[in-house]
Structure 1
Amino acid sequence: MIRLPDTNGAFSDYRLSGKVIPAARLPAGAARVVFSAAHVVADPFTANDPSGPATIDWKATMAFRHHLNDLGLGIAEAMDTAQRGMGLDWPGALELIRRTREELPQALIFNGCGTDQLEPSRARGLDDVRRAYFEQVEAIQALGGRLILMASRALAAVAGSADDYVKVYGDVLARCDRPVILHWLGDMFDPALKGYWGSGSFEAAMEVALRVIEENVAKVDGIKISLLDKDKEIAMRRRLPAGVKMYTGDDFNYPDLIAGDEIGFSHALLGIFDPLAPAAAFAIQKLGEGDIRAFHAVLDPTVPLARLIFRAPTQFYKTGVVFLAWLNGFQEHFVMLSGAQAMRPLPYFVELFKHADACGLLRDPDLAADRMRKLLALYGA
């Protein structure tokens, strides 16, 4: 039992369900390729200001990656869930990529590769963007890493047409030694990416992204789209060339997209599969066994939780992800890079606690309740 406040500050008793997701591990050759975009754990004792260089608790950060790997999930490293470009800079991202590869050399890991070392305001043209991409491609590949080509704020700032995107992506893909995952990140996650692919229209932008894939199909494993619109994802999924995967980045509609329809399905590369990792492993194991009812029974109830975590302003979803990691004992504090733990209000955390409990995502309910009480005390409750 724990006393929790409502949005008016009135307290009432809340009885925890005691429900916990059953243990499962995805086998090799699972029904879907599943990546969790993993968060990082900040060092709470750093003397750096939140606006300064990131200081990471490497032990806790790597322990969480072992947790994901133990569940059989792939790891999408140094992505926006790791606060890439929002607290984690390129040197920090490369160190994260290096350490994860050394810790888990046999794991399925793809790594975020972008242009975040180039401030968009300092980009003078497409060649600056190319050089920034090339630097990261070469550095990550020198470590033996696979690539996720992330959307570029600098390219969005300097591109004058759709053809500019086609040219830059073609040149970057030519430097890639193995097929990559492209990432189309919507402006709800990053306002600086508005009009990506050279258009504010989804249909026109999709044609450009498809052209990039079709002209470089041997270099593309798949594409992740994060637009929070399942109809747009399905429309593009049905247009992909044979052998090119769709990785859902839709943190609102992932159960239906992963389950698929009579024409096809999406694989998964999701930030929500950081806190939902046990549910993802169990549900997709059941999907592989042909038990679609069990798949939906586990994943469908998590959607309200995901929609709360990713509510607008969507870019602050990392706060909810790290909060749940703290509740579940994956880190000893609720401190984030850039002080991002302060980017959501107390009622948000109270609702997350309740949703996570109802979904069976609190692996030690007593620990989670104790930590929730500590958070309430911090707020004077």
Structure 2
Amino acid sequence: MVNKLTLPGENRTLYTYQPRQIAAQFKLPSGKPFKKRIAYSAVHVVCDPLANTDPLSNGQIDWDATMQYRHYLWSLGLSVAEAMDTSQRGMGLNWDRAKELISRSIKEAKSVDGNIASGVGTDQLAPGPTVTLEDVEAAYEEQCAFVEGEGGKMIVMASRALAACAKGPEDYERVYRKILGNVSQPVILHWLGDMFDPALNGYWGHEDIDDAMEVCLAIIREHEANVDGIKISLLDETKEIKMRRELPDSVKMYTGDDFNYPLLIKGDEQGYSHALLGIFDAIAPAAAAALHAMDEGDLTTYDALLEKTVPLSRHIFQKPTFSYKTGVVFMAYLNGHQDHFRMIGGSESARSITHLAELFVMADEAGLLRDPDLATERMKLVLMQAGIR
């Protein structure tokens, strides 16, 4: 029997919570790819807790556990979006470490015929007053060449350096024209809102989202043959639907909206979004089961499975949104995918114990704790570190 927990509530109060006795059962055809949607999970990394290095500046990765988690996602039919912001790219994971991560993951993907795309950006280039557009182009080209050299597909991430040095839309058009004109296969573009990264405020040369969207759409139309799709993370379903309807027919929309993904993936009479989501790391079995149900034409099950995950996702991605990685890794810890709750950059401390307790309850209510006994024992350990017994 699962033991009760003492959890923190509002205003320093404590209350007793009884976790579920059994986990939800998800219908998961092993390794079977989805037919109606492409679904990438932006995936976290597992840090090495025993590495005797400074976790803030030189956090080390547990390669075995990190690769095992990618194999777990592939076994569910999900694709992997590697070295993105969910992997703490630019927030603990630097380009040198990202190169090794990308190289290892591409090799593992090939061993099981798993689908993978990797993030390319300019994070080897620190934004500053002396950075030029030529510097940004060279940084992008270096990363593109590396991923293509590894035989991988690319997700062209938004650039902090470009956001800092661009004078207007024409500078974005110039840089993306240079990058997209030289890729060997179609790429996924990535528009990350400033709620995920404040340094990207005003991306595409405009703070107004509609004006920025027009610049982005113009770039896509000019380079349609080299753009597989675009992932937008604006947490505004109306903006995503508007842009989706204006994309060229050959260009896919990949939702990055961790608040409204069930509706956006389901779509409407004018189209739908594929998925490239950080929350799919945390809710992988429910997401995979829902997409398999969609393939079978069972939208009732699709709705029921994903509806239960939305409160959890909105909690994990609450402001400050960029701290969502803490919740994603905490879910992996609770579910036994890693033996500890430590993160590169010390990011396990980015959320409060009350936030983590609420996360536990929401995950339990959604049936996403695959071994309630294990999850409860691990929650107890985290609570004890906060002085709660």
Shorter chain as denominator, the TM-score bin is: over 0.9
Contact persistence 1:21–1:361 (CA under 8 A): no
Q: Does structure 1 residue 190 correspond to structure 2 residue 197?
A: yes
Q: Paired residue for 2:155, among 148, 155, 177?
A: 148
Instruction: Classify the secondary structure of the residue corresponding to 2:309.
Output: helix
Task: State the Cα distance separating 1:122 from its structure 2 match.
Answer: 5.8
Could you give the per-residue CA deviations for residues 205-228 of structure 1, whole angstroms, max 9, x where no partner exists? 001000110000010000000000
Could you give the per-residue CA deviations for residues 79-117 of structure 1, whole angstroms, max 9, x where no partner exists? 000000000000111100000111221211000000000
Q: Which residue of 1 aligns with 2:6?
A: 3
Q: Distance in 1 between matches of 2:131 and 2:6?
A: 56
Name the aligned partner's letter for residue 85 of structure 1. Answer: G
Q: Does structure 1 residue 93 correspond to structure 2 residue 98?
A: yes
Q: Distance in 1 between matches of 2:347 and 2:310?
A: 23
Q: Which residue of 2 aligns with 1:70?
A: 75
Task: State the Cα distance separating 1:307 from its structure 2 match.
Answer: 0.5
Q: Paired residue for 2:26, among 16, 22, 29?
A: 22
Instruction: Classify the secondary structure of the residue corresponding to 1:13.
Output: strand
Q: Does structure 1 residue 321 correspond to structure 2 residue 324?
A: no
Q: Which residue of 2 aligns with 1:47?
A: 52
Determine what percentage of the aligned residue pairs are the same residue.
54
Instruction: Classify the secondary structure of the residue corresponding to 2:167.
Output: coil
Contact persistence 1:19–1:358 (CA under 8 A): no
Matches within 5 A, 1:96-245: 96-105=101-110, 106-121=113-128, 123-245=130-252
Task: State the Cα distance separating 1:14 from its structure 2 match.
Answer: 1.5
Task: State the Cα distance separating 1:28 from its structure 2 match.
Answer: 3.1
Q: Does structure 1 residue 61 correspond to structure 2 residue 66?
A: yes
Contact persistence 2:34–2:291 (CA under 8 A): no
Q: Distance in 2 between matches of 1:273 and 1:231?
A: 21
Q: Paired residue for 2:281, among 266, 270, 274?
A: 274
> Which TM-score applies when normalising by structure 1?
0.98
Name the aligned partner's letter for residue 173 of structure 2. Answer: V
Instruction: Classify the secondary structure of the residue corresponding to 2:276.
Output: strand
> Which TM-score applies when normalising by structure 2?
0.96
Q: Distance in 2 between matches of 1:316 and 1:23?
A: 31
Q: Does structure 1 residue 286 correspond to structure 2 residue 290?
A: no
Task: State the Cα distance separating 1:123 from its structure 2 match.
Answer: 4.8
Name the aligned partner's letter for residue 150 of structure 1. Answer: M
Task: State the Cα distance separating 1:197 from its structure 2 match.
Answer: 0.1
Instruction: Classify the secondary structure of the residue corresponding to 1:144.
Output: coil
Name the aligned partner's letter for residue 90 of structure 2. Answer: G
Instruction: Classify the secondary structure of the residue corresponding to 2:345.
Output: helix
Name the aligned partner's letter for residue 306 of structure 1. Answer: S
Q: Distance in 2 between matches of 1:318 and 1:341?
A: 9
- Structure 2 CA distance for partners of 1:76 and 1:186, relative to 1, 3 Å: same
Moved over 4 A (4+): none
Contact persistence 1:280–1:299 (CA under 8 A): yes
Contact persistence 1:21–1:279 (CA under 8 A): no
Q: Distance in 2 between matches of 1:195 and 1:21?
A: 44
Q: Which residue of 1 aligns with 2:376?
A: 369
Could you give the per-residue CA deviations for residues 236-288 of structure 1, whole angstroms, max 9, x where no partner exists? 00000011100000000000000001110000000000011101100011111
Instruction: Classify the secondary structure of the residue corresponding to 2:16.
Output: strand
Task: State the Cα distance separating 1:135 from its structure 2 match.
Answer: 0.3
Q: Distance in 2 between matches of 1:278 and 1:202?
A: 33
Q: Distance in 1 between matches of 2:300 and 2:56?
A: 47
Q: Which runs of 5+ in 2 are unaligned?
A: none
Q: How many residues align?
A: 381
Contact persistence 1:51–1:338 (CA under 8 A): yes
Matches within 5 A, 1:342-381: 342-381=349-388
Moved more, 177-186 or 123-132: 123-132
Q: Distance in 2 between matches of 1:267 and 1:313?
A: 26
Name the Cα RMSD after superposition: 1.1
Could you give the per-residue CA deviations for residues 159-204 of structure 1, whole angstroms, max 9, x where no partner exists? 1110111111011012211100000000000000000000011111
Name the aligned partner's letter for residue 217 of structure 2. Answer: L
Name the aligned partner's letter for residue 22 of structure 1. Answer: F
Instruction: Classify the secondary structure of the residue corresponding to 2:289.
Output: helix
Q: Distance in 2 between matches of 1:273 and 1:39?
A: 11
- Structure 2 CA distance for partners of 1:142 and 1:122, relative to 1, 3 Å: farther
Task: State the Cα distance separating 1:12 from its structure 2 match.
Answer: 2.8
Q: Distance in 1 between matches of 2:238 and 2:197?
A: 21
Contact persistence 1:2–1:369 (CA under 8 A): yes
Q: Distance in 1 between matches of 2:286 and 2:36?
A: 15
Instruction: Classify the secondary structure of the residue corresponding to 2:15.
Output: strand
